[in-house]
Structure 1
Amino acid sequence: MPKTRKKKTPVTNTDKATSSSNPHSSRTVIRRFHVLLKKQQQLKLAPSTDAQELRDVEREIEEMGGLAVYQRMSSVGQGNDRGGGSEKVLIQWLIDMGLQKREGKRKLKLLEVGALKPDNYGMCTSWIDTTPMDLRSRHPSILEQDFLLMDEDENRGRWDIISLSLVVNFVPDVKDRGRMLCLAHAMLAPEGLLFLALPLPCMENSRYLSFDKLQSLMTVIGFIEVQLKWKKGGKMAYWLYRKGERDHGPLDEFRKKTVCRQGDRNNFAILLP
């Protein structure tokens, strides 16, 4: 008599993924959610969309718990037992620049995009006035707002610091990623600072992006690199940029994908709109 095969549980099963604080399960859920969100975007923009395929993708996103699951998994990754959040990197850089010495000066206005916790900069309240925001707020003190839908004119030059930590890589459209960086430039005060954090594979293993290519892109947008931190074999890369003048030279090379590396690579890219 043949043995009855046990039905496999999909890796995206939310009961397991959301209840576990295992780093591997967190990364698995986040990666799968990225794939599904990108696929959903492609299907919505396609001239002749397979309605059933779109429903299947959206059903899996819903079964995973949607953005709420991604936020929970990301929040787990920010715990002190995992080395803490990327805000520690930014805070140390700001201290190294002497910006914590604000006696007699107004506080620095920081916009924290993609905030999962309301108090990431709680230790800096004497010199930083933080506005945490996210697409789906998990706390009354976190503003629920899509950064890409913020009014550029109302926010022009308003912020001293903007943090885009693990945000750009989560935007499904490659041109919206570039638009996000351009919008940040417009919203920063003169000499304002942009903090950018991306998973290291976005730089080291992308078919379309490298450290040099990103540097050229940021220069064209009008950013000057102040700090860069990453290590071989690590998981993250961090940058600090200062707002400078926009480069009005040819932009065509940043509006289409060009191959930087051959072979088995990921397809992460950032394009200008």
Structure 2
Amino acid sequence: MAPQKRTKRPGLLSTGRPPIAKSKDAALSAKATRTLIRSHHRLLKTKAQALKAGDEARVSSIEAQIQANGGLESYQIASKLGQSMDRGGDSSKVLIDWIQPELKQFNKGMPKLRVLEVGALSTKNACSMNAALDVTRIDLNSQEPGILKQDFMERPLPSSDDEKFNMISLSLVLNYVPDAAGRGEMLKRCVQFLTTKSAFEFVPRLFLVLPIACVDNSRYLNEKRLGEIMNSLGFHLTQSKRTSKLVFHLWEHTGEYSPRAFKKEELRSGKTRNNFAVIINKK
């Protein structure tokens, strides 16, 4: 098979996303949903390694496997099902629960809190349905009106505070970035999109959701190291929650920004560990 033409630049979220394919039946079982999502992530990691090695033939082969699994649209169907009410999904419900005491201060006529939801899959989640929030939704492959087709790493930087956001949601997004340095750049970029102003005394925040294995079973990342990374970017952890599969964090930004370098170094040993990591470069 001849290699497919690739036009995406390295470092963008799109370099790690599977190609779009024709829609599959959305009636997947919970087990099939998990299997499809795991398969996509596994193939994406292998593809990132092949890209780094410059192995075009391997990249083409992996893309063919991703396409055979249904491509990006099939992955997003599985993700939507995983977030459906009957499967205990919609991570934004956790976010709303955490900030509800402050949202109660909101009255009609007051400026809404501006929220940037990266990797949005629905316009009807808890975050989008809250009257106090003005949500901007972006995703690499918009699945419905109201979600802008956009790569966060290509989104133009704000030219003024009015173009920034009071809150950014990265729910199961950071783990989708195919390389450790790219994850660090995404976290640094979030700071540039957070406002320095407060709306009814609301401190700018980042809502971060990761698979629990990323912090509990990684060779290169644990809760302590993640905290050190976030603190260096000016974030302070205010809320956290764990389930059997996910870890939820809410980080307030202090307004300070003094990133220090964090390299990929082994924090845990063991053959069963995964290689999830976040690298921060000072420049």
The two structures have a TM-score, normalised by structure 1, of: 0.85
> What SS is found at the alignment partner of 2:166?
strand
Partner of 1:221: 233
- Residues 234 and 258 of structure 2 are in contact (CA less than 8 Å); yes or no, is this contact kept in structure 1? no
CA shift digits 1:87-139 (9 cap, x unpaired): 1000001103x223212520000111111111213431x21111111110000
2:248 and 2:78 mapped to 1: Cα distance? 20
AA partner of residue 200 (structure 1): I
**1:62 CA displacement:** 1.2
> What SS is found at the alignment partner of 1:105?
coil
**1:23 CA displacement:** 1.8
AA partner of residue 36 (structure 2): V
Q: Which of residues 105, 113, 128 is equivalent to 2:110?
A: 105
Partner of 2:132: 127
**1:20 CA displacement:** 4.5
> What SS is found at the alignment partner of 1:123?
coil
**1:19 CA displacement:** 4.8
Partner of 1:242: 252
Verify: 1:202 aligned to 2:210, yes or no. no
* 1:1-12 alignment, distance < 5 Å: none
Partner of 1:184: 190
What is the aligned residue count?
250
AA partner of residue 227 (structure 1): Q
Partner of 2:44: 37
**1:247 CA displacement:** 4.8
**Which shows bigger deviation, 261-270 or 148-157?**
148-157
AA partner of residue 85 (structure 1): D
CA shift digits 1:50-71 (9 cap, x unpaired): 3332221111111112211111
Give the 3 Å change call, closer, same or farther, for CA 247–183 of structure 1 in structure 2: closer
**1:226 CA displacement:** 0.9
CA shift digits 1:7-53 (9 cap, x unpaired): xxxxxxx99x855422222121111111212222222232xx33332
Partner of 2:150: 145
- Residues 112 and 131 of structure 1 are in contact (CA less than 8 Å); yes or no, is this contact kept in structure 2? yes
1:155 and 1:64 mapped to 2: Cα distance? 43
- Extract structure 1 runs of 4+ deviating beyond 6 A: none
CA RMSD of aligned residues (A): 2.0
- Residues 192 and 243 of structure 1 are in contact (CA less than 8 Å); yes or no, is this contact kept in structure 2? yes
2:145 and 2:26 mapped to 1: Cα distance? 23
Give the 3 Å change call, closer, same or farther, for CA 189–60 of structure 1 in structure 2: same
Verify: 1:60 aligned to 2:72, yes or no. no
CA shift digits 1:197-244 (9 cap, x unpaired): 00111111111000001000000111111111114xx11100001111
- Residues 142 and 148 of structure 2 are in contact (CA less than 8 Å); yes or no, is this contact kept in structure 1? yes
Verify: 1:259 aligned to 2:266, yes or no. yes
- Residues 155 and 187 of structure 1 are in contact (CA less than 8 Å); yes or no, is this contact kept in structure 2? no
Q: Which of residues 172, 176, 192 is equivalent to 2:178?
A: 172
Partner of 1:268: 276
Higher Cα Rg, which structure: 1
* 1:5-24 alignment, distance < 5 Å: 19-24=26-31
Structure 1: 5+ residue stretches without partners: 1-13
- Residues 101 and 127 of structure 1 are in contact (CA less than 8 Å); yes or no, is this contact kept in structure 2? no
CA shift digits 1:117-165 (9 cap, x unpaired): 11213431x2111111111000021111101111224376610111000
> What SS is found at the alignment partner of 2:104?
coil
